[in-house]
């Protein structure tokens, strides 16, 4: 808050502390509503370190986005690879695919709802959806496209919809929405649960419930797209 009671920090240390503080503050308040003075104070570094190391506030924001995307990639890499292996293997059974689906829901529940860092990450993602900055592509290409690809392979396998078809792309979004809403509407969720945080039991309940619903979705799937010209000429 005031001054660090230590000797001069190393170069890497200062940059690292600013990125950590930036992840938290940009997530909470957004890019324009976070001041360089707040950032420097939270990181315990000098104000002038921001223009010096990152070329300005926007440079720091850019570095924060690259950092959180790399962090999420590391967190999800193994899970994604396992699921993709099942989907890409023609010998795997439908039962294998359903097991992979359960693993995917559980993994995404943990990644999205579990730790505190994910809160800041998703807040940044939401702000970029509302008002994209030039750094939006980092999030889209680095994180979102990958998640979508895995879900797409999984649901494509279970519904028979062709990869890249609009119906599959939209269904992937709708299915992911079942989980995303708990992140996006966390505050509202907690009000309904009468709690101030999601407990382990809540996470377990959400994961089970989404697994049940997603299995029901693929079991009751019937293609609806391309909307075959609804009631063409009343014929």
Partner DNA sequence: GTCTATAGTCGGATAGAC
Partner DNA sequence: GTCTATCCGACTATAGAC
Q: Which residues bind a second copy (CB under 8 A)?
A: 27-30, 32-33, 123, 126-132, 136, 140, 144, 148, 166-167, 169-171, 173-182, 184-189, 191-193, 201, 204-206, 208-210, 212-213, 215-217, 219-222, 224-227, 230
Q: How far is the CB of 121 from a second copy (least distance, A)?
A: 12
Listed in sequence order, the residues at least 6 apart from 76 whose beta carbon sits closer than 8 Å to its beta carbon are 107, 111, 146, 147
Partner from DNA, a second copy, none binding residue 29, C-beta < 5-8 Å depending on class: a second copy
Site for DNA in 147-186 (CB under 7 A): none
Query: Is the CB of 90 or the CB of 226 nearer to a second copy?
Result: 226
Which span sits near DNA by CB under 7 A: 6-14, 75-83, 172-180, 199-207?
6-14
Give, in order, the Cα–Cα distances in Å from 192 to each of 139, 185, 195, 198, 234. Answer: 30, 11, 8, 11, 45
Partner from DNA, a second copy, none binding residue 28, C-beta < 5-8 Å depending on class: a second copy
Partner from a second copy, DNA, none binding residue 191, C-beta < 5-8 Å depending on class: a second copy
Q: Say if residue 66 is exposed, middle or buried (CB neighbours under 10 Å; 0-12, 13-18, 19+).
A: middle
Listed in sequence order, the residues at least 6 apart from 65 whose beta carbon sits closer than 8 Å to its beta carbon are 124, 135, 138, 139
Which two structure tokens, joined as six digits, stand for 120? 């800041």
Using DSSP's 3-state secondary structure scheme, residue 26 falls into: helix
Cα angle 81, 82, 85; round to 5: 85
Partner from a second copy, DNA, none binding residue 192, C-beta < 5-8 Å depending on class: a second copy
Among 20, 58, 169, 215, binds DNA (CB under 7 A): 58
51 binds DNA (CB under 7 A): yes
Site for DNA in 7-26 (CB under 7 A): 8-11, 13-14
Site for DNA in 26-45 (CB under 7 A): 34-38, 45
Q: What are phi and psi of 168, to 5 degrees?
A: -65, -45
Q: Say if residue 197 is exposed, middle or buried (CB neighbours under 10 Å; 0-12, 13-18, 19+).
A: exposed
Site residues (vs DNA, CB under 7 A): 3-4, 8-11, 13-14, 34-38, 45-53, 56-58
């Amino acid at each position: 808050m005031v001054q660090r009671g230590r000797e001069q920090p190393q170069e890497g240390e200062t940059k690292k502390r600013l990125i950590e503080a930036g992840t938290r503050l940009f997530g909470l308040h957004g890019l324009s509503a976070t001041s360089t003075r707040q950032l420097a104070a939270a990181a315990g570094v000098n104000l002038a370190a921001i223009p010096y190391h990152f070329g300005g506030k926007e440079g720091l924001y850019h570095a924060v986005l690259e950092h959180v995307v790399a962090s999420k990639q590391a967190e999800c890499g193994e899970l994604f690879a396992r699921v993709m292996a099942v989907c890409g293997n023609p010998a795997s059974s439908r039962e294998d695919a359903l097991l992979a689906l359960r693993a995917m829901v559980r993994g995404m529940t943990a990644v999205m709802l579990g730790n505190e860092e994910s809160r800041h990450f998703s807040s940044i993602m939401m702000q970029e959806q509302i008002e994209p900055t030039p750094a939006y592509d980092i999030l889209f290409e680095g994180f979102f496209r990958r998640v979508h690809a895995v879900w797409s392979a999984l649901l494509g396998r279970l519904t028979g919809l062709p990869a890249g078809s609009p119906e599959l792309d939209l269904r992937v979004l709708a299915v992911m929405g079942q989980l995303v809403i708990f992140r996006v509407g966390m505050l509202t969720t907690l009000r309904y649960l009468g709690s101030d945080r999601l407990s382990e039991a809540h996470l377990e309940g959400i994961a089970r419930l989404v697994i049940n619903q997603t299995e029901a979705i693929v079991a009751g799937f019937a293609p609806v797209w391309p909307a075959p010209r609804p009631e063409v000429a009343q014929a």
